[in-house]
Amino acid sequence: MPAETATPALPSSLPREATRPSPHPARRTLGRAGRLALGILLPLALALAWELAVRNGYAQGRLLPPPSRIGATLYGLAASGELWTHVAATLLRVLLGFAFGAVAGIAVGALTGTLPLARDLLDPSLQALRAVPSLAWVPLFILWLGILETPKVALIAVGVFFPVYVGVAGAIASVDRKLVEVGRIFRLSRLALARRILLPAVLPATLIALRTGLGLGFLFVVAAELMGASEGLGYLLVDGQQFSKPDQILAAIIAFAVLGKLADAILVALTRPLTRWQDTARETL
């Protein structure tokens, strides 16, 4: 009977990166700068097409101003310092609301994900509250907390809380039972089991939930700045609507888009080392 052929093991000194498949040739060719340029190609092409349509008389550009007018409005707001005041106010509210909402969402999600009694007690009510529109909270928060910064931050925190809570609770509930059984076979303590098995298993989904919560924080800040705000990008939107300034409205929308993208990129950069151990197929596609 022929002897079985043993599969050679990788040397223990071989770096983990060396065992990973190389990136797709297209990604290697483009590089980081090339991928960034490719990402802004579509909005630049659309902006150029609209600018040419307005300049050549194919469109009026009254309700949807051309990019040159929007750029001039942005430049004027930035040169006067008004834009930076609004950006700073909005960013501070989003960061505070995100911090409170994310911490609460992770804590409650971990509680309901690990304790069946807490899940049966809390999850139905939280799922019902998750369906409440953001604007429905505005009059209640004004009644409870006034019209200063506290209700604005609270409203943003509510918007961040629910996606983070659902993401964390769902990630814990979807952990493979076999992984937990392996930890018990090795007689890991509850703390070691959480640190070495549960945490790595739920971390990727938790980071995605945090990114979703951050995006909803920027959505909720507009509703928050309807509560008597005198500064912020949401206030800039309302001011443009009240005084029929479509260029100012679009300038505020662009500022929201840029600010949200930068915040998301910073969050991804800060959390990337936490998932460096993952061996995914993304880079090879």
Predicted pLDDT of residue 221: 86
Domain ranges of the chain: 85-276
Question: What is the pLDDT confidence band of residue 105, given thresholds at 50, 70 and 90?
Answer: very high
Alpha-carbon span 75 to 258, nearest angstrom:
15
Q: How confident is the prediction for the chain on average, in pLDDT? A: 79
For residue range 170-210, what is the model confidence (pLDDT) as tens digits? 888 887 777 777 777 777 777 777 777 777 778 888 889 99
Residue burial 2-23, b: 16+ Cβ < 10 Å; e: rest: eeeeeeeeeeeeeeeeeeeeee
pLDDT by residue (tens digit) across 134-173?
778 878 888 888 778 888 888 889 989 999 999 988 888 8
Q: Residue 256 burial by CB count (10 A; 0-12/13-18/19+): exposed, middle or buried?
A: buried
Percent share of the chain, pLDDT over 70: 84
Both structure tokens of 139: 């009059």
CATH number of 85-276: 1.10.3720.10
**3-class SS of residue 23:** coil
pLDDT, mean of residues 246-259: 88
